[in-house]
Homo-oligomer: A and B are copies of this chain.
Amino acid sequence: MANNIYIGVDLGGTSIKVGICDENGKLLHQMEGPTESEGGPEVVIKNIANYVREIVASSSYHWDQVAGIGAGITGFLDIKEGIVKLSGNLGWHDVPVKKMLEAHLGKTVKIDNDANVAALGEAWGGAGAGIPNLVCYTLGTGVGGGIIINSQIYVGSTGVAGELGHIAIVPDLEAIVCGCGQMGCLETVSSATGIIRMAKDAVERGDKTSLALVEHIQAKEVFDAAKQGDEVALRIVNRAAFYLGKSMATLAVVLNPQRFILGGGVSKAGEILFAPAREIFKRFTPEPAQEGVDIVPATLGNDAGVIGAAGLNLHR
């Protein structure tokens, strides 16, 4: 009998990526098409359905082999019911994606948020393949997270588990307000936004740094300056790594995962971020919770979303 295949959809504001995975999380085919979100939910859902049918038709697989379809979506979701409660970049409010797509395609559809889906992608077909218990950070504009327990995404009681960016990790006297309204969230220091803010603050107060000459500071410029020995940039990078490492120490005693995976744009900085983060992790984690635990970079890059979405029907 022919093997099952799994379809993943990465639904973005301007484009939709669709991929076919085998049962081991290997991405076999992928394509991309416009979202056309200005046409409203009906148009977008019809586009997704068309892309899904197209990619299967243009492959060597048959429609009968499609075991399920998953979609990763940015926004507030009712994961269980498959409803997008609110999505800023799509302009959606209470859209029953699961029901609409199932009506179009006649296959089981599951949805989940982008950070969870990226974590599942890495767990299934990337840096976490074969590891049942792991934690994945997405270090981008914000800090997202996904917790994988027994090879499944863990979503918690109301679907907000794994919001690692909102661990209140910065002590009160050094803390600033986060976008979520709380003080001292990890996201305020270990995201690209946090790193840029710290760099701009340093320049504004006249710290002696090469960053003063950069017109539009991005996180990459801060990492580059640090690599070239700029002390101010190095201090900022170490601060981002410190709280990242300390948050992993907390997760080690709470969740006892076997692996931490760091993905997203900020993780591309490499050893200048990983080395101090690993050192801080070691300093703050009791011996038994460190044993056999490693901290590794994500390997799937932008494909993690499509692959993880495809995995929703196997792993939740």
Contact = CB atoms under 8 A, between A and B. Distances in A.
Interface of A: 132-133, 147, 149, 154-164, 166-169, 171, 180-185, 246, 249-251, 253-258, 283-289, 291-293
A156 B246 contact: no
Contacts of A171: 171
Given A149-B149, A158-B288, 17 more contacts: A133-B157, A149-B154, A157-B256, A157-B257, A158-B256, A158-B289, A158-B291, A158-B292, A159-B256, A160-B253, A164-B253, A164-B254, A168-B250, A169-B250, A250-B250, A254-B254, A254-B255
Nearest to A155: B256
Given A167-B250, A246-B168, A291-B158, A181 B256 contact: no
B286 A167 contact: no
A156 to B, nearest CB: 3
A147 B291 CA distance: 20
Majority DSSP secondary structure for residues of A touching B: loop
B253 A163 contact: yes
Given A149-B149, A171-B171, A254 B286 contact: no
Contact of A182 (B156, B184, B255, B286): B286
Given A284-B182, A286-B180, A286-B181, A254 B158 contact: no
Given A133-B157, A149-B149, A156-B255, A287 B163 contact: no
Nearest to A247: B250
A168 to B, nearest CB: 4
B286 A166 contact: yes
Looking at A246, A253, A258, A288, the one whose CB has the most chain B CB atoms below 10 A away is A253
Contacts of A181: 286-287
B255 A166 contact: no
Nearest to A285: B182
B249 A168 contact: yes
A160 B256 contact: yes
B286 A163 contact: yes
Contact of A160 (B132, B183, B184, B288): B288
A254 B133 contact: no
A161 B284 contact: no
13 contacts: A132-B157, A149-B154, A156-B255, A157-B256, A158-B258, A158-B289, A161-B256, A162-B256, A167-B250, A168-B250, A169-B250, A171-B171, A182-B283
